[in-house]
Chains A and B, each alone.
Chain A
């Protein structure tokens, strides 16, 4: 490994990361504070983690939050992927642009407006606010994100492959299954993770459509914060942060493994290719 030399670009990088991570480290540090407030650090304790374990309401809300996020991003990924394929294969350029435009409008419109309109919709339809109202609205605002993540992969795809597959007698389902989906899989996975993170940290939309005892972490933490944040919340945030850290490193290792495998595959491929072209 090369030794890191001082350079202005490295210093800049360090500064930015320090700015981004200091507040989180500060929060983690104070989650172990004995004093129960942020005023000063008086001693080390894990009692906030203990009281977190006793706070069944908060645990329940954390479980619910993850349930909504996992499920809503899954459904949004399925709908969004199919939507992206649909938009990609629209033959008229104008319609395609219009469809994409409609998709992007949803992406840039403020969460508050989306949330308020969902509240209107649900109450007008006589729909009970709770788990399903949150789930449906999360699916709805995640779909445009997935579409946007999948489309570039479709554009990268070699269209000749589809023609070739059809020449060899594949029907539409086989083309989708064996040609299109495999080549856009990275985009689909990225879309899923984006939708998941959006769902986890969404506050504005969820705030409007929660009710009847159902809440997500962001809404609950907000309403508790008005009374002064208890260190229990810090303890929870610390656990979530470590969880996220674990997820990211897990994702990194999976990717690394894949890259290694792919490299091996391409080695073999190129050899075959050479054999095939040289008579």
Chain B
């Protein structure tokens, strides 16, 4: 009995020490101010040095938490019990959150620096007049290939993927709208098609792609491509930038037919407790030099046109990541399809996944 009591006291002592330790780490991390800003962002999606700079400039203490999918973020915000002041979801999720009133309308009088953003990225269908969200990064869906196995210029468009030489060579991203979108795009239809005939057409075409598919994978694509497990993959531009950083043989192509244009925007969820700090952070990220530093670190495309001027020439002259206006015209943003058509896309994708290869 005595020994158990002793052990209990020891454990409580260690727990106390750990608590003091974490307090100490907290203190050394930032200013002692109790004014905190809770940010909920994708993992590894900001230059950590910027968070420190923000803390120094404004005196707010940043609590930074990460999520791995829009859906996970949505659940945490919707369930409540959290106090995120700022989140960075993708455009289709913002659309859904606006409809379910999970985000707060922005007070534009408190936002400075919106003029730095390229007008092409403002006032889009998912958030008219940017009432709820401010662009953070944007990108496209495209093809990445390894020049050790595929000749340069061999792939220019989606239709090149059907080449019979690429038997079991292609890794596809595991997403219904992305894959059905490839079919629609190749056929010249809209990515947001709500026409059953067009969808059936696109699916027929996709059937022919099945023999070339090596795997349908998600985030692992990055690792596989770096390790040269497959010569070709369909992936997002930001992921592609990461891969090219690791393996110089990889190249990203924005297909000629056009592609999906996606956004990750900053929003203030309804769980926010410190909206002042959230506005301060939005204004901070809108500053051209800050946006440029962040884009340089992450490798995604920045919507901040004044920041682009500060980026290295070779970065912004890369048309695969900063497409010309002409190419931009072929890009389409996902619109909310509604339950019925989202279901149809998912069903078609499931059918595509189940196709037999003999």
Contact = CB atoms under 8 A, between A and B. Distances in A.
A182 B223 CA distance: 54
A37 interface: yes
Nearest to A177: B1
A56 B38 contact: no
Interface stretch (A24-32, A42-50, A62-70): A62-70
B200 interface: no
A64 B82 contact: no
A212 B38 contact: yes
Chain A contact-residue range equals 35 or more
B1 A178 contact: yes
B129 interface: no
Interface in A128-163: 128-129, 133
Contact of B63 (A59, A122, A213): A213
Contacts of A57: 29, 64
A74 B15 CA distance: 10
Contact of A119 (B7, B42, B79): B79
Secondary structure call for the B interface: helix
A60 B27 CA distance: 11
A228 B222 contact: yes
Interface in B5-20: 7-8, 11-12, 14-15, 18-19
A224 interface: yes
A188 B21 contact: no
B26 interface: yes
A176 B356 CA distance: 68
A119 B15 CA distance: 25
Interface of B: 1, 3-4, 7-8, 11-12, 14-15, 18-19, 21-22, 25-26, 28-29, 38, 42-44, 63-68, 76, 79-83, 219, 222-223, 226-227, 242, 246
Interface of A: 37, 39, 56-57, 59-60, 63-64, 66-67, 70-71, 74, 119, 122-123, 126-129, 133, 177-178, 181-182, 185, 188-189, 211-213, 215, 222-224, 226-228
8 residue pairs, one from A and one from B, having the closest CB atoms: A213-B63, A226-B68, A129-B81, A67-B18, A211-B82, A227-B44, A63-B22, A56-B29
